[in-house]
Structure 1
Amino acid sequence: MKVTKMFSPLLFIAAVLFSGTASAYDPGMTEEVCKKPQFRDFNLPVYQEPEKTEVPPESTLSFMVSPWAKPDTIKLTAKNQNLEFTVESNSSFHRVKAKLPAAFNGQYVRINVTAKAELGCYDKNGWLIKIADK
């Protein structure tokens, strides 16, 4: 009877320690978390009320994309048309540059960008601008 009283608390402690160790392992924790691409430093003034700021016709736009984005997945559109652009990359960021087409002069234009990260997730962003008439 004495042996069972002493053995019982040891079994309880072992069970608690074992169950705590077993629940601490999570196979999902070994997977990397995908960081979405980030877009920043858009150089043109975004259209807002009451300022109603306009950008000059055929302006050059630029912005930066985080370095973990794959530069070959960047897509730039305006009014549902693909824009031609260049990408300059270094270890800190990708700089995207494009020229606004003359066809957009005098119009409101939404510039949209999408990009995929190295691990596959993606993000998008956009800016509304008003282009002045020539």
Structure 2
Amino acid sequence: MKTIKVLKAALLIAAVLFNGAAFAYSSEGETEEICKKPKFMNFSLPVYKMPEKTEVAPESELTFIISPWSDPKTLKLTAKNQNLPFNVESTSSFHRVKAKLPAAFNGSFVRINASVKAVLGCDDQMGWLVKVAEK
């Protein structure tokens, strides 16, 4: 009689332990990589806003930094819906983007738009409004 009770208790403990291990197992087997969106930082020109109405010099050079997990080959930079030529200097910590405002934008408002994809595929975009002074 005692052996039956001990056997039942042992079976109960074994069943509980087995079920706990089964619940801990994940059928996915692989972890899904999460894509971090690219970040835009340190835009060098003053952004136009009221009431300051700050203007930038004609044909100004602009720079900004994008996060290191961005793919600089996918970077698109436009101003007034026109492609803006740029250079990228890459380090292990960031990608620095440099461009120059064309002379055609002198005396006008310019919306500068940048978009880039991250290495893992997600993307982000950023824009800045500047007022270019008359030459």
TM-score normalised by length of structure 1:
0.86
Instruction: State how many pairs are aligned.
Output: 132
Structure with greater Cα Rg: 2
User: Per-residue displacement from partner, 1:20-61 (whole Å, max 9, x unpaired)?
Assistant: 313xx2628612111111110000000111111111111000
Structure 1: segments with no counterpart, 5+ residues: none
Q: 1:21 and 2:24 equivalent? A: yes
The 1:117–1:7 alpha-carbon spacing in structure 2 relative to 1, beyond 3 Å, is same
Moved over 4 A (4+): none
2-structure distance, mates of 1:120, 1:61: 26
Cα distance in 2 for residues equivalent to 1:11 and 1:118 = 47
The C-alpha deviation readout for 1:74-113, integer Å capped at 9, x for no partner, is 1100111000111111111111111101111111111000
- Give the structure 2 partner of residue 48 of structure 1: 49
Query: Unmatched 5+ residue regions in structure 2?
Result: none
1:66 aligns with 2:75: no
TM-score (norm 2): 0.86
* Richer in strand (by share): 2
**Does 2:126 correspond to 1:129?**
no
Report which of the two has the higher share of helix: 1
Distance 1:127 1:16, change over 3 A: same
1:81 & 1:69 partners in 2: Cα distance? Answer: 22
CA shift, 1:14, in A, is 3.1
In the other structure, the counterpart of 2:98 is: 97
Instruction: Give the partner amino acid of 2:58.
Output: P
